[in-house]
Amino acid sequence: MNWLTLLMVLPLIGSVALAVLPKENEKLVKQVALASTLVVMGATIAMAVGFQRDNIELQFVEKYAWIPSFGINYALGVDGLALVLILMSTILAPVVVLAGWNESQGGRWSVKTFYILILVLETMMIGVFAATDVFLFYVIFEAMLIPVYFLIGGYGSGERSAAAVKFLIYSLFGGLMMLASIIALYVMSGAQGGHTFDLAALSQLQMSSMTQNLLFLGFFIAFAIKAPLWPLHTWLPDAAESATPGTSVLLLGVLDKVGTFGMIRYCLTLFPDASKTFTPVILVLAVISIIYGAILAIGQRDLKRLIAFTSISHFGFITLGIFAMTSQGYSGAALYMFNHGFSTAALFLVGGWMISRRGSSTISDFGGLQRITPVMAWMFFLAGMSSLALPGMSSFVSEFLVLVGTFTRYPVHAVIATFGIVLAALYILIPVQKALHGPTTPGNENLSDLNLREKIAIAPVMAIIIVLGFYPAPLLNVINPAATHVIAQLGFSDPAPTSGGK
């Protein structure tokens, strides 16, 4: 049974169904959208159940010729990492639909269009993680931009079109860098036994270290833009500020993961040596992102921008973990990707509710919410705690794994990165104090607290955050084999205890 194709087709069916529905009946449109995302989620979980943990091979593999004359296949398959990310995406989708029930109103186009875009995007989100053919990956990687572009530009707020363009140009530029590398790979594969885009085959290519470095950069720049790594991050705050909360969740929670996912799946696998060559630089960039993002977050006045910058900091952690080349770092990073998806979702959704109620996203416009809207305030607080990786929250496990894993090989980087956790306390508690504590500022005396729909939407997110905080094993068991596999392939093994040189 072609699970992955099924997963990709289901949302498309949903979007087609939406297309035929009448524009006017918005309620029905939303219900259908929600239903289809739920179906996809169910299917994904059903698939995940059948996943064999300890098998490091790709699973649920599918392969059909697509453009034979270029040796391009429609090839899908998942390892532990991809599976986890697909799970995350498909769980987040219904949450976003439910949480952003009304955010599609007041857009340039109809509610219907909004959800069609969302569903198309979901298909691509699944495909981009499942693709095992580099060309297919690239196609989806680029095509994904279009729906997001319209989601931001069409339904966002403020300088939405400018932000959308910035996002698109940035990403396209990165994408073209990657295209150049892909072309080079393709040509080389032709020279070395037949044109192909099969990831496994390409990873066997022989190439001079010079070439490898250049091609690596081509890929890495694209991914460093996606998962905003300092200094390629400036599109993210604008995009997040303008996009609707739901879009932001998909953008930061899922799409940006493609960047870090790509670093693992493509940079490390295709260019092991180059990866090692560039590791020092990348680690520094990662550490800078952690600290820089955190400090900038502290300095923000706008709630959405603040969240965006916290994400930049978090992506720094993920990158750090990936390139630490230890099983703890890798598993930590992988788990981090998953957790970040949910803690960012929590922050953005609750933040979004606060903003839509108050009609402003300036932090200082809030105040004393804890007295007026206790539940909403609590949810925001919990989301914040998860974002600053409080023990007991899932994000703690991943963050600590990253730090420990990094420390064993790159102590200095780890130590600097750890300062991020103090800054995290600041960038969360400052908005918490301004928005939730203190006397009620005029203008939000009679904001309404979360309604049932919103509670239902946020509950699973919180549940996941907390449950995984105490019991991350289910995910770790899936990730670990992949982790050890990749690390081993790169010729690394976890450093043995040094006994401090005694």
Partner 1 sequence: MTFTAPVLNYTLLSPILILLGGALIGVLVEAFVSKALRSIVQLSLTVGTLVLSLAQVWRIHNETSMSAAMGSVIIDGPAILLQASILIISIISIFLFADTDHFTALAAALPGSEEERHSLETGNQVTEVYPLTLFAISGMMLFPIASDLITLFVALEMLSLPLYLMAGLSRRRRLASQEAALKYFLLGAFSSAFFLFGMAYLYGYSASITYAGIRESVVGGSGNDVLLLIGIAFLSIGLLFKVGAVPFHAWSPDVYQGAPTPITGFMAAATKVAAFGAMLRIYYTVFANAQWSWTPLLSVIAIITMLFGSLVAIAQRDVKRMLAYSSIAHAGFLLAGVIALNKAGLEASIFYLFAYGVATVGAFAVVTLVRDSSGEVTDLNRWKGLGKRSPWVAATFAGFLLAFAGIPLTSGFIGKFSIFSAAYESGAKGVVFAGVLSSAIAAFFYIRVIVLMFFTDATQDGTSVQLPSALTRATLVISIAITIALGVYPAPLLNVISNLSTFIR
Partner 2 sequence: MMTSTSLVYLIALPLAGSAILLLAGRRSDKWGHLLATALSASSFFVGLYQLSLMVGRTNSDRPVTQKLFEWISVGTFKIDASLMLDQLSICFVLLITGVGTLIHIYSISYMSHDPDRRRFFAFLNLFIAAMLLLVLGDSYLNLYVGWEGVGLASYLLIGFWNQKPAYATASKKAFVMNRIGDMGLSFAIMIAFATMGTVSFSGVKEAAGHTSTAALTGIGIMLLVAATGKSAQFPLQAWLGDAMAGPTPVSALIHAATMVTAGVYLITRSNFIFDAAPTAQLLVVIVGAITLMFGALIGTAKDDIKKALAASTMSQIGYMILGAGLGPVGYAFAIMHLLTHGFFKAGMFLGAGSVMHGMNDEVNMRKYGALRKFMPITFATFGLGYLAILGVPPFAGFYSKDMIIETAFNSGGAKGIILGCVTLLGAGITAFYMTRVMILTFTGKSRWDEEAHPHESPWLMWLPMAILAIGSVTSGYLLSHGDTLVNWLSPLFVNHGERAELLSPVVVSGLALAMVAIGVAIAFVKYSRNEVAAVAPTDVSIFTTIARQDLLQDRFNEAVFMQPGQALTAVLVKTDEAVIDGAVRGVGRIALGSGSALRGIQTGFVRSYAALILIGAVALIAAIWVVTQ
Taking the complex as a whole, the smallest distance from the CB of residue 187 to partner 2 amounts, in Å, to 28
Taking the complex as a whole, the smallest distance from the CB of residue 427 to partner 2 amounts, in Å, to 10
**Count of residues of this chain found to bind partner 1 when the rule CB under 8 A is applied:** 35
Chain positions 346 to 365 lying near partner 2, rule: CB under 8 A, are none
Instruction: Single out the residue of 38, 48, 368, 416 in contact with partner 2 (rule: CB under 8 A).
Output: 368
Closest CB to partner 1 among residues 145, 403: 145
> Does position 474 bind partner 2 by CB under 8 A?
no
CB 30 within 8 A of CB 18: no
Instruction: Single out the residue of 11, 147, 153, 228 in contact with partner 1 (rule: CB under 8 A).
Output: 153
Closest CB to partner 1 among residues 211, 279: 211
Chain positions 482 to 501 lying near partner 2, rule: CB under 8 A, are 483-484, 494-501
Chain positions 392 to 411 lying near partner 2, rule: CB under 8 A, are 392, 396-397, 400-401, 403-405, 407-408, 411
* Cα separation, 432 vs 428, whole angstroms: 6
Which residue is associated with the tokens 């010079």? Answer: 210
Distance, CA of 459 to chain centre: 20
3-state SS class at 437: coil
Chain positions 42 to 101 lying near partner 1, rule: CB under 8 A, are 65-70
* Cα separation, 468 vs 108, whole angstroms: 39
Which residue is associated with the tokens 């094993």? Answer: 473
Closest CB to partner 1 among residues 51, 66: 66
Residue 430 vs residues 300, 351, 358, 442: alpha-carbon distances, Å: 10, 14, 19, 20
> Does position 385 bind partner 2 by CB under 8 A?
yes
491 binds, among partner 1, partner 2, none (CB under 5 to 8 A by kind): none
183 binds, among partner 2, partner 1, none (CB under 5 to 8 A by kind): partner 1
> Does position 168 bind partner 1 by CB under 8 A?
yes
Chain positions 180 to 199 lying near partner 1, rule: CB under 8 A, are 180, 183-184, 186-187, 190
> Does position 250 bind partner 1 by CB under 8 A?
no
Burial class (CB in 10 A: 0-12, 13-18, 19+), 55: exposed
Contacts with 9 (C-beta within 8 Å, 6 or more apart), sequence order: 123
Buried b (16+ CB within 10 A) or exposed e, 436-464: beeebbeebeebeebeeebeebbeebbeb
> Does position 472 bind partner 2 by CB under 8 A?
yes
Instruction: Single out the residue of 102, 234, 362, 451 in contact with partner 2 (rule: CB under 8 A).
Output: 234
Cis peptide before 231 (omega within 30 of 0): yes
CB 344 within 8 A of CB 409: no
CB 313 within 8 A of CB 290: yes
Nearest to 480 by CA among 364, 290, 330, 279: 330
> Does position 452 bind partner 2 by CB under 8 A?
no
* Cα separation, 483 vs 402, whole angstroms: 13
CA angle 57, 129, 177 (to 5 degrees): 115
CB atoms within 10 A of CB 318: 32
> Does position 242 bind partner 2 by CB under 8 A?
no
> Does position 130 bind partner 2 by CB under 8 A?
no
> Does position 299 bind partner 2 by CB under 8 A?
yes
**Which of 69-77, 123-131, 182-190, 389-397 is the region at the interface with partner 2 (rule: CB under 8 A)?**
389-397
Distance, CA of 27 to chain centre: 29
E-only strand ranges, 41-150: 59-67, 72-78
Where does this chain bind partner 1 (CB under 8 A)? 65-70, 108-109, 138-140, 142-143, 145-146, 150, 153-154, 160-161, 164-165, 168-169, 172-173, 176-177, 179-180, 183-184, 186-187, 190
Where does this chain bind partner 2 (CB under 8 A)? 169-170, 231, 233-234, 292, 295-296, 298-300, 326-328, 331-332, 368, 370-371, 374, 378, 385, 390-392, 396-397, 400-401, 403-405, 407-408, 411, 414-415, 418-419, 421-422, 425-426, 429-430, 433, 436-440, 470-473, 476, 480, 483-484, 494-502
